[in-house]
Chain A
């Protein structure tokens, strides 16, 4: 039963936490405001690289580096949002995915390798601020049936604390009148205009907030090992959409649960395929890693068929979608 235990371990890893946080940001865009952002990976990349470069190249202290990174993300959101939010929803989708790719290719390019590390990225000589404060005993730490390195467990602890604080903040924001305006915009922008709501301002605020949360997730995401351009491919954004659908979009805790389930399923299918290779049922690991995505796909199909609203979603709400 090692498979299951190994898979369940994913629930608390730093990667799961970082994805959960970025998905919370994306949920403000997509789930609550109805903004189709296909480039959340761009915000996460700005977070990861912004922080790493601020610390390693500019020598900033970590609180200052976080502030600079978040400001960068806010600026990027304004740059994206001001020209496109007044247009139809599809334009934001096109612009966000294109800009996210521009960011990734720029970071990947050898032209700026002296700053960004090019295709190799940057290694984590920027995470001293977090590892230095590690209160756990050195070496391996046992937590129930699982073993973590002390550093990993500490980073996970910090990450989940951030996720908890942000989730509570978003929960309070969404149940405020401000949050109700966002949901109204998701339903019908023209109706909201006729009711006297400054739709563009609210959309911009939502875009900035979700993007800044994405950048914060990026800072967390790169702490354990390194920051590499390949991580921020469009697949990252679409994995987040998968998480939203899994957990239930337009719910505050859906993205968190979605991220946990997503990574458990990813790990579980991995273990399953490896077991198949060990047992001689599959030829080699390459073939296996492809099979893994087939299994993930099948799991997703089952979910959409049997629980289309996601785990935490509201079925009644969804039933009105098919009008």
Chain B
């Protein structure tokens, strides 16, 4: 499917002390779609995320975002290009208010430079714009009632929402979500799904890591499967999830064999 790719990676290789964590020859993430990155535990999905966003450095490899080469860039520069990630274990800024968390999501605030910090005239206007925008987004995520609470006081699911809302303050073109559903109670799952689908409606590209096949099937337009650091399959959810290689990688080759028959075979 990828006719127009927003992210193209080639020959990305990362090993830790001899153990290959990621060895991706070529992958493209289609623009304006929702792509799921799936694979068993230890497949290298999060490491690949870390590499793409500059949080980790590969031994070799190149990748470009929207035509700009981004390998070797520090993570904050990658984020400023419009490629914003969230974390598997949510990272809210606990002893700051929810609203302050949101304000830090914006990258248009000139007052963040030391030389402008004392010049209110330089940053007050942007501050008002950002606050307004933050409250709009918080309302969309039903967090507006919490705006002045400390983020540390939010529930696990609310933190996931805040992290996603905060990423949107940066007006990203590519949103990368690392296990957005992990640890979220079922009541919030539906709302999170809705928010992710909404990102696509608003013209953003989404790449997410997930284990929940139900979510992958319902949400993703494109699925990339990793196992042992390599990409072993990609395609539409229907084709990939019915592929034998994928099912084997996930569940083991004998997942649908009756245990008794295996025991008898052994005996």
Contact = CB atoms under 8 A, between A and B. Distances in A.
Interface of A: 169, 172-173, 176-181, 183-184, 186-188, 190-199, 205, 316-317, 320-321, 323
Nearest 4 Cβ contacts at the A-B interface: A177-B111, A178-B117, A196-B79, A320-B152
Given A193-B55, A194-B91, A183 B79 contact: no
B190 to A, nearest CB: 26
Given A177-B103, A178-B117, A179-B117, A196 B123 contact: no
Given A180-B100, A320-B153, A197 B55 contact: no
Nearest to B149: A316
B95 A188 contact: no
Contacts of B104: 180-181, 184, 192, 195, 197
Contact of B112 (A181, A320, A323): A181
B95 to A, nearest CB: 5
Interface of B: 53, 55, 74-77, 79-80, 84-87, 91-96, 100, 103-105, 107, 109, 111-114, 116-118, 120, 123, 127, 150, 152-153, 166-167, 170
Contact of B111 (A176, A186, A317, A321): A176
A172 B118 contact: yes
Contacts of B153: 320
Contacts of A198: 74, 76
Contacts of B167: 194-195
Q: Is the interface of A mostly helix, strand, loop or mixed?
A: helix
B260 to A, nearest CB: 47
B76 A188 contact: no
20 contacts: A172-B118, A176-B116, A178-B117, A180-B96, A181-B104, A183-B95, A187-B96, A188-B93, A190-B55, A190-B91, A191-B91, A191-B92, A192-B93, A193-B75, A194-B55, A194-B91, A195-B104, A195-B107, A320-B150, A320-B153
A316 B153 CA distance: 10
Contacts of A181: 104, 112
Contact of A323 (B96, B107, B152, B166): B152
Given A181-B104, A195-B104, A187 B111 contact: no
Given A173-B117, A177-B127, A187 B95 contact: yes
Given A173-B118, A184-B93, A194 B53 contact: yes
A316 B111 contact: no
A194 B150 contact: no
Nearest to A209: B114
Given A180-B100, A190-B55, A196 B150 contact: no
Contact of B87 (A184, A191, A196): A191
A188 B87 CA distance: 12
Contacts of B87: 190-191, 194
Contacts of B105: 195
Contacts of A172: 117-118
A321 to B, nearest CB: 8
Contacts of B127: 177
Residue of B92, B117, B153 with most partner-chain A CB within 10 A? B117
Nearest to A172: B118
Residue of B104, B127, B153 with most partner-chain A CB within 10 A? B104
Contacts of A320: 94-95, 150, 152-153
A183 B97 CA distance: 11
A35 to B, nearest CB: 16
B79 A191 contact: no
Residue of B80, B96, B112, B166 with most partner-chain A CB within 10 A? B112
A183 B96 contact: yes
Given A184-B93, A184-B104, A197-B112, 14 more contacts: A169-B118, A176-B117, A180-B103, A183-B93, A186-B95, A187-B93, A187-B95, A190-B55, A192-B104, A194-B87, A195-B76, A196-B79, A197-B104, A323-B94
Contacts of A191: 87, 91-93
Contacts of B91: 188, 190-191, 194
B93 A194 contact: no
Given A181-B104, A194-B84, A196-B79, A317 B117 contact: no
B118 A193 contact: no
A197 B150 CA distance: 21
B93 A199 contact: no
